[in-house]
Structure 1
Amino acid sequence: MAGLLEAADVAYFRATAAGTIVGVNDAFTRLTGYTRTELRERSFETLFDDGTTLESLVSDLGHGDSPPVSTSVPIRTKTDVVPCTVHLERRSRGGDGEGDVDRQPSITGIVRRREPVAGSTVTSQSDLTYGRTFEALADALPDGIIVLDTNSDIQYANPAVERILGYDPDELVGSSKVKIIPERLRQTHLSALQRYLDTGERHINWTYVELPGQHTDGHEVPLGVSLNDFTYEGDRYFVGLFRDISPRKEAERTLTEKVVQLESVSYLGRNALESADTDELLEKATELVVAALDAEYAAIFEHEAAGPDGETLRLRAGTGFDAADGVTASVADSIGAAALADDGPVVIENFETEDRFDGPSVVDDPDVRSGITVTVGPAADPWGVLDVYDTTAREFADHDVDFLESVATILATAIERQRYERRLNETVSDLEASNERLEQFAYAASHDLQEPLRMVSSYLQLIEGRYADELDADSREFIEYAVDGADRMRDMIDGLLEYSRIDSQGDPFEPVDLDAVLEDVLTDLQVMIDRQDAEITAESLPEIQGDSRQLRQLFQNLLSNAIEYSGDEPPRVHLSAERTGRNWKISVADEGIGIDPDDQERVFRVFQRLHSREEYDGTGIGLALCRRIVERHGGRIWVDSDPGEGSTFTFTIPVEGAQ
């Protein structure tokens, strides 16, 4: 009751049986001008201005839950005296307010300000009874109120009932409550009421329960209901307070739809990343769309601007109907054409009132009433369209259109990605075939050139040996140059042959201990190390997956270069290893002549030399071999260097190994 009074802006107070105020509402504080703190623990009769005592008023009340009494009395406010009507009721137990008297006898009261009778200085006696006060309160509330007897016959209905359920309150009074209960729930209600009267057992939460009400036009209205019962003059009654919760239910339904649609978009996005089958993805998309929008049909068409039959839409996937893949629909005057032309969604709420289109092209269902079409792909060059149809005329929400556009975006992205991957795979296949042909050519050329070079070198040496006495110094020098050139050419061909075989003739990967590889390399280079008085230091190196033969060649090339290009000082070389994420980073640092920054990329190319043959020997293919070996192992190689400050060659190798 306190809640009703608060909603109706009626002053209300609660006091102990002795008259001490223990609770008031906001309307009471506004009427009296006192704050809650000033009123609490104050005797209510101190507010009377004419000497009336609370005892005289309470004496008219019986004991227990007796009927209320009404009286006129002037109330002393903080600023003046106000004529009022006070309605008092004695309660055997509290529970309608606050404080520690909740289960003790108490007095509750309603205070209403009275206007003076014209021409009189005395306030007229109120004829407003407690029941009429309740009726006035109930009439002012936006929530529906009905009062029932134990036969479920309606004894009272307030005006809000008509706004919520369409029934005239006067016509409802005297009729059965089952009239406003959906037929499917009427027997359940009657059985539950009888069980409560017999046993006191409640099968629902009376404080708040959501139940449907039957509107006069036949549809059901979702209601939030609070129930209570009371006894008056020996008869039991039930009061129900209810409000239309359709807006909240609609908001909940919209939120649920959005959640389902977001989950569908998320699922489709993951599926698009994992699936390489376009048709499977399109079919999954139509299934998700039908489920998320609670529609009957969904179809995806590919737009063929210049097919054998001219401009058409070719069916690629569909849900809810039987149609063979590849069925085409005319673009002319179709919903798809409108979407393609408008660069945006086309929404049809009712085909019967739509004069632009007759209905869907491939769905053979005369009952189709509504639909949405969105484009798949960029507006400038759309891949196709996505159609959704339903057999009921419906107003699609903005979030429904947004959902379809999100699905279309995912499909367009996946289709473009698969196109790109297909082109990339074709390019990779072409490159692999080209590389294979180049390797075959390099091997054949290198192999075929070896024999002529050996012949040239052999005949020149034969001439030198046979005609040594007849050759002058210049002739012998010329022959020496020719033999040296043939030998260098043979070394270059051997290097080129080795370079071409890095991928095609490498050994399978296996666990390789790089410390053991380094030890073997140092043994092979021992003569060079001793001759140059080189100092080689190394940290502990890891075990990796790789080709031990090629890794040995990698270390040998890097160390021999570090020793050879040491300059005038004895070589000082240090090897280190560091794990960075999923890779090992291995460095070979020297204190040699260094490399100009402009040349640091060029040194890894085939036959690129930075120095003349008179300064340093070599074919110019060693570092190119190093790069091919590192790349085959899934890493990369680079150099950090400054002229005269030494060089650090660094390469990475995956921890798990990659080929």
Structure 2
Amino acid sequence: MSEKVNSIRILHVDDDPDLAELVSTYLRREDSHFEVVSAGSASDGLDTLAETDIDCVVSDYDMPERNGIELLEAVRERDADLPFILFTAKGSEDIASDAISAGVTDYLQKGVGTDQYAVLANRIRNVVDKWRAEREAERTKRRLEAIAENSSDAILTVDSTNTIQFVNQATEDLFGYDPETLRGDSLFTLIPERYRDGHRQGMERFLETNDRSLDWTAIEFSAQHREGHEVPVSISFSTFKEGGERKFVGVLRDISERVRMEDELRERERRFRQMAENIQEMVWMTDPTKGEVLYVNPAYEEIWGRSPDALYEDPQSFADAIHPEDRDRVEEILDPQSTGSYEEEYRIVRPNGETRWVYDRAVPVKNEAGEVYRTVGIASDITERREREREFDRVVELLDHTERVADVGGWEVDPKTGDAFWSDHLFELIGWEGDRAPSLEDVVDIYVEEDRPRVEAAVENALTHGESFAIEARLQRSNGEDRWMEIRGDPHVENGEVTTLRGAVHDITERKQRERALHELYDVTSDPDLSFDEKVQALLRLGRRELGTEYGTLSSIHDDEYVFEFVDTDRETIQPGDVVPVSATNCELVASTRQTVVIGDVERDAPEETGRAGFTEWGISSYIGAPVFDTGDVYGTFCFYDTAARADRFTDWEETLVDLMSNWVTVELQRKRTTEQLRDQNEQLSQFASIVSHDLRNPLNVAKGRLELVREEYDGEHIDAVRRSHERMQDLIDDLLALARVGEQMGELERVNPADVASDCWRTVATTEATLRTAISRSVRADESRFRQLFENLISNAIEHGGEDVTVTVGELDDGFYVEDTGVGIPEENRNSVFEPGYSTTRNGTGFGLHIVNQVVKAHGWDIRVTTGARDGARFEVTGVEFSSE
């Protein structure tokens, strides 16, 4: 325990408690720094010494068990120096002699009156002050001895006659002398002869006048080694008096390594300057703390167009020359507070207005304390390089654009290493996953097995004989799709050896498909063994596969555009406005609008059973159409128009395909009608969501805010009731918005893991002390957003009705999954009603949660039913689910 400043803790041992209390009181009155601890016996006093730091013991002589002398002897066994005052009523020479022999510090006989306590207090202060001073002196002595013996510096003391009186062990390491040999020897033993007269004169002047001829701190000179060579040292002196005599103590440190490093540094600096003065890059050095430029080589003027002297005079001119658009960015890293390394490219503006690009890099230099005190950097003129890079980027961009326009990807292979390079568009064409091009061996494996030998032979021939090639082959993309590619290769030959093989790849899949379609069309139409119905079926399959709708226009009797309707051709005349239902045979095509009927030139050379006809009217030179049926009545037709947008008439195979695509068009019409209905429905839902989110939510927010203002002035149960109503309205709005989102069209189906979705929803729903268990491993194909709504509402329903400690289980069925809880369950008579909007069995429920679940299930084409769980809770089973095979 550390001593309190001026505080003295006294142990008073006396078997008379009244006297002990009196002594303690008067001692504290005499000196407020006294802390008195009383003990009624010698044994108690020894226990106190063992547990408490005591500065002085004051003890009576006559005590039971042990007297004061015996206590003193026991104390001295523990501490030979602790102050001990024998304060006794008995005053005999024998007692005093025994006390002195036992090591008592002071002896005081008790008297009469209170003045004796002032004397006792004075005695205590004296013995404690002396004891503390001696103890501190001993500590200081031990510290100095430890410092001297463990210091790596040489420490010595000399008297006024330059006689060495003390040296430590480190002196031998520095000068080669045994310490015992140097004691009593002259200090001049360690001083080279050329310094001795100066030292002697300085010593004499100081002893006479106390005037120092130089600073005695860290003086550097050369000392004399025992072997004769000189040692560079740094010495610090101080003076002290001992026994009335002036003496000196010196600390000498070997600075040989530092001197060597300084010499080496100067040599490096010489070499650095020689190098820096002759290179083209600008070399510079600054003091980041002072903002000073310490050095810049002549290349600064070549690059910046300004002289080094001007930079020394005005360091800010360096930053002023930076282009205004780059200045803020560069000044941030040049800030004195920024002491890290950097690499930056920026522009400068020369005095003549010329802009140059520079590449500047710098590193911080730290001193021995780890502080950054220098920044060194090199700046290079990279204007020409930047111009080349910009030109290169322009060429690369043009090449990439050209590749995409032509739908061609480029490649290059090194035959020696097998390393390959692909253009970005080639990665897209091939469908290769990864950012590195495959090797030559790996890329051949991309092509289908039947075409692979042809590719390998072409590449081998190019590498062996240096011959270019152009082949067609199929490859399989990572998604499993087969594509036809035209591969061209051009070897570069040097000294009869192929050094590089370059080429291009062009996707010709569409061209190959068109060629195949033309061949199939010819085969079908020219096959005499096929009936007309068989040809229709074959061409229908061909049309569905090959012919898109980009050339077609679907017309309907429900539109304002042209409508193509079939009329009876058995009648001799066709009157404007006549519309006759389609019969099984004998029909022609009539063009009409919703206002008038327009009859064109009907060509009767086409087979009647095909329902084909042609006409010329209003710039439409020709068209082809196929009837579309809807529950037995003509609904419309699918047509191709030959307008000014097409350079030629329809080909025979296009007309034939369109004639036989009526079934497909019927399906498309139904889809269109459904899409229009969904669009109208979504528009209504969007309007509804807008009303709920704006026209209802905003007034509700105003009402809630006004209620809080009312609460500041009034309070009562009616206000709480209004607040609960507001919260109820907020819940209803949120659920209505969720219900509106369910009405949106389904998104793309993807692979979704029910266990993962349930776990994610569990973290977002306030589940309190509830528990989630998942017992499903397979994934399903679903719209993930809708699927998440389903689980959020089922989990919320379980928490709401099952209590805070409910357990919710997500499990797997043969054709679906289930969500089951351990709550109270749903009575059988209510199971058909739980999915109805607004149905709820709790006071705070909105009744939309399970309705949303039902809507999501229906949107996916699934089924849902409610039953009883294993522990009598509610169990929702979703079936008809398609599990993912991935």
TM-score (norm 1): 0.36
* Larger Rg, first or second structure (1 or 2): 2
Q: Which has the higher contact order (CA 8 A, sep 6+)?
A: 1
TM-score (norm 2): 0.27
